[in-house]
Every structure is written in structure tokens, then in C-alpha cells.
Amino acid sequence: MGVTIKDIAKSAGVSYSTVSKALRDSPLVKEPTKKKILEIANQLGYRPNAAARSLVSKRSHTIGVVWPTIERVTHSALITGLNKQLEKHSYTTLISINEMKSAIDTFNRYQVDAIVAFDEKNSTSDVSGSTVPIVTYGIAGRSSFPTVDVQRKQAIMKAVNYLLSMGHQKISYIGDLEDDHLQKEKVNGFIEAIQKAEDPSACPVISVSDLEQYNGYMAMRKLLEHPNRPTAIISGSHDLSHGCMQAIKEHSLTVPNDFSLISYDNIPATEAFEVPLSTTGVPLEIITEQLAAALIALIQEEDIQEAIYLKPELNITPSCRQLNEGAVNEED
Amino acid sequence: MGVTIKDIAKSAGVSYSTVSKALRDSPLVKEPTKKKILEIANQLGYRPNAAARSLVSKRSHTIGVVWPTIERVTHSALITGLNKQLEKHSYTTLISINEMKSAIDTFNRYQVDAIVAFDEKNSTSDVSGSTVPIVTYGIAGRSSFPTVDVQRKQAIMKAVNYLLSMGHQKISYIGDLEDDHLQKEKVNGFIEAIQKAEDPSACPVISVSDLEQYNGYMAMRKLLEHPNRPTAIISGSHDLSHGCMQAIKEHSLTVPNDFSLISYDNIPATEAFEVPLSTTGVPLEIITEQLAAALIALIQEEDIQEAIYLKPELNITPSCRQLNEGAVNEED
DNA sequence: TTGTAAGCGTTATCAT
DNA sequence: ATGATAACGCTTACAA
């Protein structure tokens, strides 16, 4: 088996408690001794035993992430970002793709310091008796755990209001998805805000069967054939937007001349498009930062709020433009 | 903190070693005692402390998976499948999305029993001194660890040979991807096997920028515009195939009447298409089964082979048809 | 059938 | 500045 501090102690001719201190860089050990011990440890390929360490210190310095089974770019980006954030705070991230209940059970046995659960389809509802603190990422009020809520509804409303203020009256939302309360929240935001348009009925919500690029492509094609084309589009996810832009390009139309486009999902990848994409939503980095902060607060047994609402930001790029009244029809 | 076996012992009026035995379902404990202890444990919400357990038993009953950063349906399916397999053997799966080196380090500290690493871009090359045994999933001979190799090259060759035997002479391969040795392996298989065609130059390899559905869609559209359309397509991934079929359908053409189609990636999802997809490759379940078997063999310190080659299977469905010579041009 | 005790690798509290 | 030792929660001989 592995090298232990006792092996190092023997090799260095000191007691193993000295080794322990040296490895933790304690000021109670003289510099030369410390250096020598570190050298030997390195040379022997010592790796601290996490089990022993967390057994005595009651801390594993590890966060467990319960990953939803559904794969999406945003999820990946989110976990990657969270991973980085936690690394900054010198926490290790471990992921489980098991069903919520058993994943949480595993993390409890492993004594991770805290757990993040993506709230998907009410999956958090039947979780009971976790000794380890849990934070959910979803919609506040749906679970009994503190929740980081990115206010999807307001994010979309902001986008609608902005487009209205720019003179757009025919706005369409792409991204309704059955049985997905996260997506419904966005749709609700659209419907609520669009009531201020002159003719809300001219502002259709397009359903999709998934949130991938291809679905956005198909949805946009549908809109392109629409007798009364919108002048602006709001799309429910990064990938959908990607597909939209492809469809638009294919018809030799352009953003923003023919369509203004705002995408939900405020992730860095949107900057990479030909026309940088306007986005709405909480910037990815803020989400991961806040999630990390919430986790660390929980670990330090600080009382944290039941709901941590993050403020969506509208990030306008040249993918949107002012609409001069009447100009649209002339262009067509 | 959590409930320990001592708490249970106290509550049950027995010694804690009896509790330990009872919880492990040892025959050394009388039935009624056992039952009582189990009840109390349950009621108290006892969860074994994995740290303590693995500290003494030298076994964590956990497998670490180093997940590549790139997201693909097949990867998800693979990990999900592996997770299930390992569950069957009562192993827990933990995933890390950290860079290979540090992920392996983490898993070493956690004393997982074994590690699976997806060989991506030579990432396994600079891994040194893992006490924990490692299995890679990739191409044999590229890493210093035992490797499960699904023989991507032969898989594609099989598909080519089959299509040739069915009378197809104009076959196209969709899925070349820059800087991806796993994909290159497939392309090489295609090129090697297609030499047996009457005119290999009529059998183009289509490059894609990613392996997603949308890329398959675009690639297929390119082929549809081709002056000398192929009669059969081999596609490098499940998602690509999905996109192909959409493009074909959109042109009011059908599989297999206008195109025979074989997809790489032998995963169950392919059965869900309108026309069930012919596939080539090692069935997902066999891959995960063999990966699990290799891991468990390694854990039991059995010597395992450096390379475990899995045999690709051709799974023919109505998405392929016999081509009667000359018939194609008449149909056009 | 049950209880006692040693020990896993580490940290932390004392002594020295 | 360094060393001895108890403790963390659990498994496992061994003793009773």
C-alpha cells in the first residue's frame, strides 16, 4: 500500500508527529527539518490518506455535486465553473450521476463537507436526513434546502422589455419544453412581459422537444416561414440560439438586420459567434461564485438564507438593433 | 455529527462490535439481536462512515472516473452504463472533471479501489505513480495502463465491407474531426476498406467540426448537393447520424430507399429512430461490462492484459438495403 | 453468541 | 523544537 507518515518519519529519523506537522507547514517545526521531511515525502511519493485525515479532522475538504442525468452545454459549463471556483477555495469536487437519493447517501458516507444538487423534476423532494448540508440550484421554494435561484422569469422579462423599448412589437420566444419547470419559468416570464406589446397574439411561443442546437434550427425555420415574421427572437438556451443563427444565415438573412436576437444563458461561449450574442441571465461566473460562497458559508455553519436570488443581467451586443417604425415592411 | 455504531450499541444494550457484525450481516450474531440492531440503526438514521471503514478495510468499494471535458451523448451513455454495471457489483462511482493528473491524485488520496480514465489527447501520458490501479478507455498502446479498446477501425471496416457486399459502390463517411485520434482511427478504417470499391475516389470523407447532430445535418446536406450522390453513408457517431436522417427526411428522401445508413456507436438510443438505425461498434453494454470486469479484476490484483480488445458488431436493421445494379440512376 | 482490544493513518494535545 | 499519546469510527482476530 501507500507511503504513510510513519515511513517518512523512519526515513527522516524523526517522530511521525513531527512529520505530520512539517507536512502541514506548521511553524512548530524548524526550517531545515521541515525541508528535509518534505524532500523525503516527495521522493517517496507520499500522498495523504484522505480517509484518515477526514476521520480525525471531521472535514474532507470535498464538495459533492449531484449531476442531473440530462446533458446540456450549460450544465457542463456550470459544473466546470463551479469546479474551478471551489478549487480556488482549495476544495475538491466530486460528482455523482446516481439518482439524487442515493447520490446524497454516498456523499454522506463519504462525509463530504457540502452537497450541491441540481433541482430537476422535483427530485429533491424525497431527500431525508442528510447530515451534510445541501444547496440546490433551481427555483426557490421548491425544495426544503437553501436554493440559489437565477430568476429565470425576470431574465426573460428583461429581454422582452428591452426589445419592446427598441421598438420591436413582433417578438417570438423559442424554447418551451414540456415537463420542465425551469423552462416553464422562462416561458411564463415571456408571456407576462409580452402583454405590454401592441398585439401579444402576434408573439408566438415556439415549443421544442429539446434544448439543443438542432431544435433551435428547426424552430427558427418555422418562424422564417411564418406569414407574419417576428422582428426579434428570444431563445431559451445557448444551443437553441446557435441553431437559430444557423437557420437565419442559411436564408441569407442576418442578425441584427433582419432579426434582433437575445439568448438566455449568460455564458462566455456566446462571445464566440460571428455576431456576438446578446444574452440575458445571470453570468455564469456569478452563479458559480455564489454557489461556491453559499457552500462555504454552509460549511462554516453560518446561517444562510433559504433563497439566494441572483440578479439576471441583460448583456446587449450588436445582435440587437433599434427598429425604426415602419421600416420593417419596407425591407421585406 | 452523525450516528455511530457506538450510539447504536448503547441504544441496543450490546457492545459495538456486535453492532458492527450485525450491520455487516455476519452469521455470528443471533437473528433477533441482528434484527433489533438493524431496526435501531434505521431509526437513528445511521450511515456508515466511509472514511473509517476504508481506513481499516483498505477498500473503499468506490471507483473513480476521470471524465473528459468534452461532452457527448455517447460519453454520457457510457458513464451511465458503467455506473449501473458497477452498482451491480456494489461499487460506487465517483466522477472528477479535473485535469487527468489532479483527478488521479484526488482519487489516490481518497483511496478509491480503481480508476477509469478516458484517453483523450494523450492526457494519460504524464500520469505517474498512482498507487491505485488505472484502466484507460481508448486505443491500445497509447498509454502505459491496461486499455479497453473497442477497435474503432475494424468497426468501420466492417460497415464498409457490408455495404460493398450489398452492392453499394458510392459510400461516404461523415465524421472526420481534426486532432482527435479516436476519430482518425475510424477514418483510417474507412479509407483502408474503401480501397476495395470500384472507384474509391467517388467515396468522400466528410469533415465535421464537431460530432453533434447539427454537424451531421450539415454534412448530409453537403452530400445531398453532391453531383454524384452516394448510395450509402457511414457516420462516425450517433448524433451525426441523427442529423443525417433529419437532412434526408427534409429532402423528402428516405432511408433506406435513397440512402443506406450505418452509424458508429452501438447504443440503445439508435433503436428509437423512425427507421431503426444500423450500427457498428461494440454494443454499449459490452463495453461497460468489460470495463467493469477489468476494474474488478484489477482490484482483485489479478493480472490483466495490457490491451483488452472488444469485438465490434455489425447490427443491421432496415436502414440498409441491397442495391440492384443500375437501379439507382433510374430512381433519380 | 457476545464482548474485548488492537490497529488502520492522521491530527491535536500534551509532555519533554 | 520535537516526541509520545489519545482519539476519530470502524473491522476483525481473539477471549470469554
pLDDT digits (tens, 9 = 90+) for B71-109: 677 888 899 999 999 999 989 999 999 989 899 999 999
The helix/strand/coil state of B25 is: coil
Q: Which amino acid is at B101?
A: K
- A110 closest CA partner among A59, A167, A176: A59
Distance B8 CA to C5 C1' (A): 19
Using CA atoms, how far apart are residues A71 and A80, in angstroms rounded to an integer?
13
A161 touches strand C (CB under 7 A): no
Which of A47, A76, A102 is the mutation pick for testing B, counting most B CBs within 10 A?
A47
What's the mean pLDDT in B229-250? 93
The residue in chain B having the minimum alpha-carbon distance to the alpha carbon of residue A77 is B69
Which of B97, B209, B217, B242 is the mutation pick for testing A, counting most A CBs within 10 A?
B97
Which of B83, B86, B214 is the mutation pick for testing A, counting most A CBs within 10 A?
B214
What's the mean pLDDT in B17-28? 90
Cell of B117: 480514465
The helix/strand/coil state of B2 is: coil
> Contact B160/B190 with Cβ under 8 angstroms?
yes
Q: Which amino acid is at B50?
A: A
What's the mean pLDDT in B290-300? 93
pLDDT of residue A266: 86
For residue B16, give the nucleotide whose C1' atom is nearest its CA: C3
Beta bridge partners of A149: A138, A309
pLDDT, greater one: A57 or B174: B174
The residue in chain A having the minimum alpha-carbon distance to the alpha carbon of residue B51 is A51
Distance A93 CA to C9 C1' (A): 23
% pLDDT > 70, chain B:
94
Chain A residues whose C-beta sits inside 8 Å of any chain B C-beta: 1-2, 45, 47-52, 54-55, 58, 60, 67, 69, 71, 73, 76, 79-80, 83, 87, 92-98, 105-106, 108-111, 129, 131, 212-214, 217, 242-243, 246
State which residue has its Cα closest to the C1' atom of D13: B17
A246·B71 Cβ contact <8 A: no
What number of C-beta contacts closer than 8 Å exist between A and B? 117
A59 touches strand C (CB under 7 A): no
- The confidence band for B270, taking pLDDT boundaries of 50, 70 and 90, is low
pLDDT of residue A95: 94
Of B58, B94, B129, the CB nearest to A45: B129
Cα B288 → chain centroid: 6
Distance B60 CA to D11 C1' (A): 13
- Strand D bases near protein CB (under 7 Å) are 1-5, 7-13
B97·A98 Cβ contact <8 A: no
Distance B55 CA to C8 C1' (A): 5
Q: Is the pLDDT of residue B328 over 60?
A: no
pLDDT of residue A139: 92
Rounded to two decimals, the pTM is 0.88
How far away is chain A from the Cα of B314, in angstroms, using its nearest Cα?
28
Distance B54 CA to C8 C1' (A): 9
> Contact A194/A160 with Cβ under 8 angstroms?
yes
pLDDT of residue A122: 62
Using CA atoms, how far apart are residues A41 and A21, in angstroms rounded to an integer?
13
How far away is chain A from the Cα of B191, in angstroms, using its nearest Cα?
29
List, for chain A, all residue ranges whose pLDDT scores fall below the cut of 50. Answer: 326-332
Of A54, A95, A111, the CB nearest to B97: A95
